[in-house]
């Protein structure tokens, strides 16, 4: 009997490649979300540091040890605060968008994996049939061999 061959092996390989490509896209989306989350954390940390510097300077001014905070410094800090608020909102929207894209991509990856699984099941079934035919052919050959020896 001929060896087992699955006529759709090239299609199966192509589908596996498609799954891998979609998984890479998903990984990129997760990386983008993590990068945005790190930016959000850095922005928040910088905001807290700048606020601490202003409050420390105001506190020092109350004691009389330091020159204090000028109106220009307060204005600069307020501009930074407004920037940080706007940037934080922008980053939040970008994170939400990245998460939505990742959720949609998960559905794509799941669908592609399902296509591969269907082809793999088909291959397994065809291999089972082939093995049954091989067993049947082997059994017939064994019977013929036994009968040929018995007749001699």
Token reading at 53: 């510097």
Average pLDDT estimate for 103-112: 98
- What is the rounded average pLDDT of the residues 61-84? 79
61 pLDDT more than 60 = no
- Contacts of 45-52 with CB under 8 Å at 24 or more apart are 46/84, 47/80, 47/81, 47/84, 50/77, 50/80, 50/81, 51/77, 51/81
pLDDT of residue 110: 98
Given this model, what pLDDT does residue 151 score? 75
Residue range 107-116: average pLDDT? 98
Q: State the average pLDDT over residues 24-52.
A: 96
Question: pLDDT at residue 65 above 80?
Answer: no
Domain ranges of the chain: 9-123
Record the pTM: 0.75
Q: Furthest-apart CA pair in the chain: how many Å?
A: 122
User: Residue 64 region, left (φ>0) first, then alpha (ψ -120 to 50), else beta?
Assistant: left
What value, to the nearest 5°, has the Cα angle with vertex 5 and ends 115 and 143? Answer: 130
Residue that wins the pLDDT comparison between 72 and 105 = 105
Mean pLDDT of 11-15: 96
**How far is residue 127's CA from residue 60's CA, in Å, rounded to a whole number?**
82
Compute the distance between CA of residue 98 and CA of residue 29 in angstroms, rounded to an integer: 6
The C-alpha atoms of residue 141 and residue 122 are separated, in whole angstroms, by 28
pLDDT band (50, 70, 90) for residue 78: very high
- With cut-offs at 50, 70 and 90, classify the pLDDT of residue 105: very high
Residue among 20, 16, 31, 19 at smallest CA distance from 101: 31
């Amino acid at each position: 009997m001929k060896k087992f061959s699955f006529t759709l092996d090239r299609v199966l390989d192509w589908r596996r490649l498609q799954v891998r490509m979609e998984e890479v896209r998903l990984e990129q989306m997760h990386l983008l979300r993590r990068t945005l989350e790190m930016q959000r954390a850095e922005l928040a940390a910088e905001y807290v540091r700048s606020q601490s510097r202003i409050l420390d300077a105001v506190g020092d001014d109350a004691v009389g040890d330091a020159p204090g905070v000028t109106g220009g410094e307060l204005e600069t800090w307020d501009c930074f605060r407004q920037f940080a608020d706007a940037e934080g909102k922008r980053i939040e929207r970008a994170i939400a968008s990245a998460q939505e894209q990742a959720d949609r991509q998960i559905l794509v990856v799941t669908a592609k994996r399902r296509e591969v699984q269907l082809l793999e099941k088909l291959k397994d079934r065809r291999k089972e049939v082939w093995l049954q035919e091989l067993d049947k052919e082997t059994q017939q050959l064994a019977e013929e061999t036994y009968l040929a020896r018995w007749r001699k």
